[in-house]
Amino acid sequence: MNNFKKGILFASLLSSLFFISCSNDNEDDELMGNWVKKSAFDGPARSSATSFVIGDYAYVAAGYTGDVYLKDLWAYNSNGDYWEQKADFIGVGRSSASSFALNNKGYIGLGYDGTNKLKDFYQYDPSNNSWTQKTDFAGTARYAAVGFQAGGKAYFGTGYDGNYLKDFYQYDDQANSWTLVNGFSGNKRRNATVFVIADKAYLATGINNSVYQGDFWEFDPATDTWTRKRDIDKNTTDDYSYNDEYAIVRANASSFSMNGLGYVVGGENIKTIWEYNPTTDLWVERTPLEGATRTDAVGFTINNRGFYMLGRIGSSYFDDAWEFKPLEEQNDNDN
């Protein structure tokens, strides 16, 4: 009888230890970051829109509803959490365009209108809510390129013109002209994403001939040089000391930056988000998007706040908007 009781006690103790161990593992595995739902986008649900940020406002334009290539423009007031419709984009409706903000004006160009790849280019002036056509992009007509501004210089590059591309052009708004600049020695690609930290641009992800790209690059506009950073694909290196758990490679992702850190989120059949630290050249996974998995969404930063919205999965198109708060714990009850 005593042995039987001892056996029960021992079994109970093992069960308790196992439960505690599993509980601790789960606690260790919890990811930081909280997604907060914001005011839904006022325009039609869409994918493959483009955006730029000026002051407290993000401007979201164009995109595709599954039936229509759009040319509307909407401004998101980040302080009031509401949307205002602005003057329609004066080019043809399009998806997969590229954009940037430069000297308090927004610029949109490139893209696809359902028939043609495009290279036209336009400036938006928020002070008078008007558009002006500018000099066409100097490279080939294309879509799914990246656009960014870093260190007061603005660029379009990569994309698809019938061929996958890796060239980059700088735009001079004073001369209204484009100049071919140094490319990077990585692979050609479309549907990559770029975030900017401390006046340096970071190019990640994308696809080339059905292969997701695992190289990762830093661009310094002050010296016009590209530097290869640690790969984001654990399968492209024998050094597993830093990236054995990485699952960052993807296409059609979005990105933004906050507090000196970069974030890549979403993509084809993916809702995870990864945080990049340029000081350590390392990535950490954060809490995945609380909304639906999506591709071809929009991401941007307003005053050190990161937002992610729109996109699609299959033939379902979204109009929801989210803010990511990396320093908070996930809270399912705040949406």
pLDDT per residue as tens digits for the range 248-292: 999 999 999 999 999 999 998 899 999 999 999 999 999 999 999
- Counting Cα atoms < 13 Å in the Cβ hemisphere of 243 gives 25
Across 128-155, average pLDDT: 98
Across 308-324, average pLDDT: 97
Task: Return contacts of 137-140, CB within 8 angstroms, 24+ apart.
Answer: 137/109, 137/110, 137/169, 137/178, 138/169, 138/177, 138/178, 138/179, 138/180, 139/165, 139/167, 139/169, 139/178, 139/180, 140/165
Q: Report whether pLDDT(237) > 70.
A: no
Q: Which two tokens stand for residue 190?
A: 């479309």
What Cα–Cα distance (Å) separates residue 196 from each residue in 25, 52, 100, 276? 35, 13, 12, 11
Helix (H, G, I), strand (E, B) or coil at 263: strand
Neighbours of 200 (CB within 10 A): 16
Q: What is the percent of the chain where pLDDT is above 90?
A: 83
Helix (H, G, I), strand (E, B) or coil at 123: strand
Domains and CATH numbers, the chain: 51-318 (2.120.10.80)
Calpha distance 15→19 (Å, rounded): 6
pLDDT per residue as tens digits for the range 17-64: 333 333 333 333 589 999 999 999 999 999 999 999 999 999 999 999
Q: Report whether pLDDT(84) > 70.
A: yes
Least reliable range by pLDDT among 105-109, 144-148, 331-335? 331-335
Calpha distance 171→149 (Å, rounded): 10
Across 147-166, average pLDDT: 98
Task: Say if residues 51 and 107 touch (Cβ distance below 8 Å).
Answer: no
Tell me, what's the pLDDT at 184? Answer: 86
pLDDT per residue as tens digits for the range 206-228: 999 999 999 999 999 999 999 99
Q: Report whether pLDDT(4) > 70.
A: no
Residue from 162, 169, 170 nearest 144 by CA: 162
Across 144-173, average pLDDT: 98
Tell me, what's the pLDDT at 303? Answer: 97
